[in-house]
């Protein structure tokens, strides 16, 4: 099984180029197909940095990031993006139609696939409401759609590529609670066989994760399910109560 989407971080320590001290220290975890691993921690803890190492936005100095057993440093980025879709914390849309924005990276997708992705991402209604539908224009940087709409379009874009691994970096924060719940229920069905790694601020987004990693100052200080962490992790309890 060469292309399943097993993600493993093994003793990863990472410093940004030119920085003196690492932002991540000795990070180890495994995320397997069908599993959701959630990462929680205060601002600046290193959550985005941790995700960015899988699509090789940066190369690491120590440890290994493995995709299906192969160090990502041995894979080229195009090969990685075929298997891994990352929805960034600041989702980016470019000047062009909604269709262009959704097809980015997957030009052969059919219109039906685009609508299916929009339906799951809870973006179907606002795109249908536009006079030109999929041909409606997006301004540079997505300034003519709301933050929540931008997030949903970027989630739809990730779905269109049908990846083995999904990385969601705080992708649900601009959504109201009801839309967030609907979107995650739909995503759960669609990504049932995929590997999902999700950074979240809202605790309700991650309570059903198979494993939650509590990140503090670049280190995993606690890990477990929601129920386990409520019992064992003061840091997690603080986050839950905040």
Instruction: Give the three-class secondary structure for 195.
Output: strand
Which entry of Mg ion, ligand DCP, none binds 178, CB below 5 to 8 A by partner kind?
A: none
Backbone angles phi, psi at 123, to 5 degrees: -115, 0
Q: Closest separation between CB of residue 23 and ligand DCP, Å? A: 4
Which entry of ligand DCP, Mg ion, none binds 45, CB below 5 to 8 A by partner kind?
A: ligand DCP
11 and 63 Cβ atoms separated by less than 8 Å: yes
For Mg ion, the closer CB: 13 or 89: 89
Q: Closest separation between CB of residue 147 and ligand DCP, Å? A: 15
Q: Closest separation between CB of residue 51 and Mg ion, Å? A: 8
In angstroms, the CA 46 to CA 236 distance is 16
**Letter string b/e over residues 193-222, b meaning 16 or more CB atoms within 10 A of that residue's CB:** ebbbbbbbeebebbeebebbbbbeebbbeb
DSSP conformational letter for 138:
E
Q: Closest separation between CB of residue 226 and ligand DCP, Å? A: 19
Element (H, E) at 213: strand 211-216
The burial class, CB within 10 Å (0-12 / 13-18 / 19+), for 156 is buried
Query: In the range 9-68, which residues lie near ligand DCP by CB under 6 A?
Result: 16, 19, 23, 41, 43-49
Q: How far lies 184's CA from each of 106, 112, 175, 204, in Å?
A: 23, 21, 11, 11
> For residue 51, what are its two tokens?
């995700």
Q: Closest separation between CB of residue 189 and Mg ion, Å? A: 27
For ligand DCP, the closer CB: 27 or 120: 27
Q: Closest separation between CB of residue 70 and ligand DCP, Å? A: 24
For Mg ion, the closer CB: 122 or 171: 171
Chain contacts with Mg ion (rule: CB under 5 A):
47-48, 89
For ligand DCP, the closer CB: 89 or 119: 89
Which entry of Mg ion, ligand DCP, none binds 49, CB below 5 to 8 A by partner kind?
A: ligand DCP
Query: In the range 66-95, which residues lie near ligand DCP by CB under 6 A?
Result: 89
The contact set with ligand DCP (CB under 6 A) reads 16, 19, 23, 41, 43-49, 89
């Amino acid at each position: 099984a060469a292309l399943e989407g097993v993600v493993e971080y093994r003793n990863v320590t990472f410093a940004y180029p030119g920085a003196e001290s690492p932002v991540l220290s000795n990070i180890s975890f495994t995320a397997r197909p069908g599993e959701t691993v959630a990462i929680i921690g205060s601002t600046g803890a290193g959550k985005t940095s941790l995700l960015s190492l899988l699509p090789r936005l940066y190369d690491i100095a120590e440890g290994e990031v493995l995709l299906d057993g192969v160090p990502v440093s041995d894979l080229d980025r195009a090969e990685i993006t075929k298997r891994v879709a990352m929805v960034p914390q600041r989702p980016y849309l470019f000047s062009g139609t909604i269709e262009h924005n959704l097809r980015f990276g997957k030009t052969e997708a059919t219109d039906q696939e685009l609508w299916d992705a929009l339906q799951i991402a809870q973006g179907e209604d606002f795109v249908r409401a536009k006079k030109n539908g999929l041909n409606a224009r997006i301004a540079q940087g997505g300034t003519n759609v709301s933050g929540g709409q931008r997030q949903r379009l970027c989630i739809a874009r990730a779905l269109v590529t049908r990846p083995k691994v999904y990385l969601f970096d705080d992708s649900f924060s601009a959504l109201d609670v009801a839309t967030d719940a609907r979107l995650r229920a739909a995503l759960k069905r669609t990504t049932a066989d995929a590997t999902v790694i999700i950074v979240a601020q809202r605790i309700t987004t991650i309570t059903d994760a198979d494993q939650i990693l509590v990140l503090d100052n670049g280190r995993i200080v606690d890990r477990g399910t929601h129920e386990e962490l409520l019992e064992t992790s003061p840091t997690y309890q603080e986050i839950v109560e905040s």
